[in-house]
Amino acid sequence: MLCDIHAHLTEEEYQKDLSLVIERAKEAGVNLIISVGIDVKDCKKLKEIIKMDEILYGNVGIHPHEADRVKEEDIKEIYQLLKEEKICGIGEIGLDFYKNYSERENQIKVFKELVKIAKEFNLPMNIHLRESHREGLKILKESNYFKGVLHCFSGNEEILKEAIDLGFYISYSGVITFGSQRLERLLKKTPLDKLLLETDAPYLTPTPKRGERNEPGYIKYIYQKVSEILQIELAELEKKIEENVRRLFAIN
């Protein structure tokens, strides 16, 4: 069984054929997909979408790109959404100092508030950090809350070690199929009991589907590549990852 811990099933790209996308994922062997929300409107849509199939779960949050537009009520709405069924975490949250679509100070403010809520609910966080690992880890350390995953990991070896020592899980996306020696080295240094995989669909389509829209069924290519790099049996990898997903997100 394959698990995709980070996808955006609410995106426009799936408006016409989401049920087919989910069927294809099942045919590929996927039986757990966590779809993440990027703002309140998206999270409300997400709440309905995850009712479509038993393999779907949700994480609700506010993406750093949206931080400039966040209003006081939005945080309260996220708070309410966390009580919904099949919402097993808070995300996508974090900091993005690469694109800087929102002011850094607003990103920091929103991230801090959402980490606080995650801690209050004792829920795992689906965290986006880009060119902001130092600042992100600083906020997490100040919050003294370390339950979560660094999605689509793009940090260096030092950040990897620190995040793992703090207790975080590390997730790799289709980028791992692009042949980056640097990323492959990081993957090899990630303990198996802290490893997670994701598509980040509809983005970051893995080889051999590059250029197409991504979808959760394509996680099979990511599993295959990771099993080659780590030189472990696919079945063993699947078992380990599933255990990690269920442990972190408390899914039976």
* Shortest Å, Cβ 92 to Zn ion: 5
Decide: helix, strand or coil at residue 195.
strand
In the chain, how long is the greatest CA-to-CA distance?
49
Q: Interface with Zn ion by CB under 5 A: which range of 54-62, 68-76, 194-202, 244-252? A: 194-202
Closest CB to Zn ion among 42 and 92?
92
| Contact positions with Zn ion (CB under 5 A) in 90-149 | 92
3-state secondary structure of 216: helix
Q: How far is the CB of 236 from Zn ion (least distance, A)?
A: 27
Binding residues for Zn ion, how many (CB under 5 A)? 2
Q: Where do runs of H (alpha helix) occur along the chain?
A: 18-27, 40-49, 72-81, 104-121, 133-143, 157-166, 181-188, 219-230, 234-249
Nearer to Zn ion, 4 or 92 (CB): 92
3-class DSSP state of 92: strand
Of 131 and 230, the one with the shorter C-beta distance to Zn ion is: 131
What's phi and psi for 187, nearest 5 deg?
Answer: -55, -45
| Min separation Cβ 204 and Zn ion, Å | 9
| 77 CB neighbour count, 10 Å cutoff | 17
- One-letter amino acid of 81: L
- Residue closer to Zn ion by CB (options 41, 144) is 41
Least distance CB 145 / Zn ion (angstroms): 21
Tell me how far, at minimum, the Cβ of 144 lies from Zn ion, in Å.
Answer: 25
Give the x-and-dash track for 195-214 against Zn ion (CB under 5 A): -----x--------------
Site for Zn ion in 82-101 (CB under 5 A): 92
Contact 149, 125 (CB under 8 A): yes
Report the interface residues with Zn ion, using CB under 5 A: 92, 200
